[in-house]
């Protein structure tokens, strides 16, 4: 959200070259707020503002910008300037930015950086998107196990200005194998000459570099952690993931889940609804809508097959929308609950029979209720339709009600089974998007509807 009051004020300070007030302002306001403000300026103006700050704060504000805007600013900078700015960024943000830079730009900038930073960027950027490795930072404090509490505090004091968090410090041996961790609180409460191995927690909740980022974020949430260490295949500490990154991961995954549920493809990294071009919006949405429309043709063919029946009982057409909607609604409800429970790790695919038993009970109640409504509807409003003489309105109502109840039960069970099936296949359960499900239960619904009616009326 933009702060409409401060943006013009900032521009004025810039235009009148009011160095003193500009510096004062940049120090007193939170970097995230400044990032919001300068996002409203041109890249060149934004860079001019950033130049009034010290390099570390500058990189901090910069790393709060949208990636798009970061790239635009880097584009207008000279080699040394850009390399310096990137070097000062938090390691995880730095690696993310690097991944987005065009190849030739990367090769141009890397030689201007110190070797340690070059290697750190290369290492972090190498992990596959969506893994713990791709979101971790290399900015953490380590301690050797032969220190005392006092020495450890002194060491943290030394490294504090450079580290993202010093509230947890990780104890490693000479091969960087993770032995345990101590919190700053532990150190403050310990006696001065108590040794680290006596204080540290050895049962460390950790992740592996290849773990799924959402699993790791859920761990941080479950155990109320400020940071979580990430180890490689040899048990060596390679990075940490902090609570604020975990929160961003959870928000991002939630957005992607919701969008998948609604059959929108593409990933959603930053807040960009209005800034995304219409063409991209179109592409993200068209894929699924078209696939589903093609499946919708199957529904059409089914209806065409039963044209004769429809011409005989025109009232059947009047119930098609309710049949389709109700199937889609009840199926989406059970699918949503199952998908969400899977995402929150409340259930696992192995619970399938308990889930089906529960959904069956709910479906029978819903089917009974909705069937009764349909029955009443036929009796009350059906009088106007022409139906062949040998059939009574009550009979037709009972048959339509039964078909609807069957549809509700089928749709609810399909809605529950598909996400579990997807989870078992190691797909994301949210691919069982509500629109996809709606289309599937439309097809099953029409088949159930017409065949039930045909069978029971003996036509």
Name residues contacting its own copies, limited to 40-99 (CB under 8 A): none
- Please provide the DSSP assignment of 206-269 as one string: -EETTSBHHHHHHHHHHTT-SEEEEE-TTSBEEEEEEHHHHHHHHHHHHHHHHHHHTT--S---
Question: Token match 């959904």: residue?
Answer: 359
Strands 165-172 and 178-183: antiparallel
Residue 353 binds its own copies, judged by CB under 8 A: no
Residue 424 binds its own copies, judged by CB under 8 A: no
Residue 289 binds its own copies, judged by CB under 8 A: yes
Which member of 104, 224, 233, 389 binds its own copies (CB under 8 A)? Answer: 224
Residue 304 binds its own copies, judged by CB under 8 A: yes
Comparing CB distances to its own copies, the nearer of 212 and 257 is 257
Residue 321 binds its own copies, judged by CB under 8 A: yes
Which member of 10, 26, 147, 338 binds its own copies (CB under 8 A)? Answer: 338
Phi-psi bin for 177: left (phi > 0), alpha (psi -120 to 50), beta? beta
335 contacts 344 by C-beta, under 8 angstroms: no
Residue 425 binds its own copies, judged by CB under 8 A: no
Q: Pick the closest to residue 442 from 313, 294, 271 (CA basis).
A: 294
Which member of 257, 391, 431, 444 binds its own copies (CB under 8 A)? Answer: 257
Number of residues in contact with its own copies, rule: CB under 8 A? 116
Phi, psi dihedrals of residue 260, rounded to the nearest 5°: -65, -40
Comparing CB distances to its own copies, the nearer of 125 and 310 is 310
Comparing CB distances to its own copies, the nearer of 144 and 255 is 255
Cα separation, 159 vs 80, whole angstroms: 26
Comparing CB distances to its own copies, the nearer of 153 and 417 is 153
Taking the complex as a whole, the smallest distance from the CB of residue 100 to its own copies amounts, in Å, to: 20
Helix 393-424 × helix 315-343 angle, to 10°: 30
366 contacts 410 by C-beta, under 8 angstroms: no
Taking the complex as a whole, the smallest distance from the CB of residue 344 to its own copies amounts, in Å, to: 6
Residues numbered 111 to 150 that lie near its own copies (CB under 8 A) are none
Comparing CB distances to its own copies, the nearer of 229 and 328 is 328
Taking the complex as a whole, the smallest distance from the CB of residue 415 to its own copies amounts, in Å, to: 10
End-to-end CA distance of the chain: 63
């Amino acid at each position: 959200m933009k702060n409409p009051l401060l943006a013009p004020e900032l521009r004025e300070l810039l235009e009148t070259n009011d160095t003193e007030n500009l510096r004062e302002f940049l120090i007193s306001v939170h970097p995230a707020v400044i990032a919001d403000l300068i996002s409203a300026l041109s890249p060149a103006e934004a860079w001019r503002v950033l130049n009034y700050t010290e390099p570390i704060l500058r990189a901090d504000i910069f790393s709060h910008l949208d990636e798009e805007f970061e790239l635009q600013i880097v584009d207008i900078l000279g080699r040394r300037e850009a390399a310096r700015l990137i070097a000062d960024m938090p390691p995880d943000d730095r690696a993310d930015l690097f991944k987005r830079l065009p190849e030739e730009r990367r090769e141009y900038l890397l030689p201007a950086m110190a070797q340690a930073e070059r290697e750190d960027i290369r290492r972090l950027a190498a992990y596959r998107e969506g893994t713990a490795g791709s979101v971790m930072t290399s900015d953490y404090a380590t301690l050797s196990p032969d220190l005392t509490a006092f020495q450890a505090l002194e060491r943290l004091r030394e490294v504090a200005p450079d580290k993202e968090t010093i509230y947890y410090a990780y104890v490693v041996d000479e091969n960087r194998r993770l032995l345990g961790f101590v919190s700053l609180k532990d150190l403050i409460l310990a006696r001065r000459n108590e040794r680290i191995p006596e204080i540290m927690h050895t049962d460390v909740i950790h992740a592996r570099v290849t773990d799924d980022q959402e699993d790791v974020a859920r761990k941080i949430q479950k155990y109320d952690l400020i940071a979580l260490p990430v180890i490689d295949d040899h048990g060596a500490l390679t990075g940490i993931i902090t609570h604020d990154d975990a929160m961003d991961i959870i928000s991002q995954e939630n957005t992607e889940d919701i969008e998948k549920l609604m059959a929108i493809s593409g990933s959603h990294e930053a807040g960009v609804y209005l800034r995304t071009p219409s063409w991209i919006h179109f592409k993200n949405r068209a894929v699924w809508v078209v696939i589903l429309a093609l499946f919708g043709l199957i529904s059409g063919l089914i209806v065409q097959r039963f044209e004769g029946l429809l011409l005989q009982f025109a009232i059947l057409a009047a119930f098609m929308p309710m049949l389709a909607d109700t199937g889609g609604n009840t199926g989406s409800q059970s699918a949503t609950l199952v998908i969400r429970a899977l995402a929150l790790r409340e259930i696992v695919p192995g619970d399938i029979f308990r889930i089906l038993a529960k959904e069956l009970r709910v479906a029978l109640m819903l089917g009974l209720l909705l069937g009764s409504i349909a029955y009443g509807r036929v009796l009350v409003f059906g009088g106007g339709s022409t139906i062949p003489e040998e059939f009574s309105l009550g009979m037709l109502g009972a048959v339509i009600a039964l078909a609807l109840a069957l549809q509700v039960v089928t749709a609810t069970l399909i809605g529950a089974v598909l996400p579990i099936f997807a989870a078992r296949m190691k797909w994301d359960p949210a691919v069982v998007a509500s629109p996809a499900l709606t289309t599937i239960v439309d097809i099953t619904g029409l088949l159930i509807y017409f065949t039930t009616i045909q069978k029971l009326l003996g036509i």
